[in-house]
Amino acid sequence: MEKIIPISERVLIKPLKAEHKTKSGIIIPENAKENPQEGIILAVGNEVKNTIIKVGEKVLFKKYSGTKINYKQTKYLIIHQTDILAIIKE
C-alpha cells in the first residue's frame, strides 16, 4: 500500500467536506463554497515539533493555507504545522 509522507514540518490532512446546504435549506453551488477549514491529520513530517499534533486528530486550519493535492482521486491538503489553529475534541 502506498503512503503519502510529508517532509519537514508539514502535515498531511484529509479536508472534511464543506456544507452543501445552509441551515435554512438553500443549496450552495460548488463554485460558491468556501474552502474547508476542518480536517483529519493523516500523517506528520519528521520535523514536526509540536507533540500535540498526532495522526487521527481532527483540526482547524487557516482558510487559504497549504497545497491542495489530488492523488488517486482523493483530495488532500499539505500544510505547515504552524497553519494548524486548533485541535477539535469531541
Q: Which domains does the chain have, with CATH numbers?
A: 10-18+29-88 (2.30.33.40)
**Per-residue pLDDT tens for 35-74?**
668 999 999 999 988 778 899 999 999 988 899 999 999 9
Return mean pLDDT, the chain: 84
Q: What is the pTM of this model?
A: 0.80
pLDDT confidence tier of residue 11, bands split at 50, 70 and 90: very high
37/15 Cα distance (integer angstroms): 7
Question: Which cell is 84 given?
Answer: 494548524
Is-contact 40 16, C-beta < 8 A? yes
| pLDDT over 90, % of the chain | 58
Chain centroid offset of residue 20 CA: 18
H or E segment and range at residue 10: strand 10-15
C-alpha 47/C-alpha 13 separation (Å) is 16
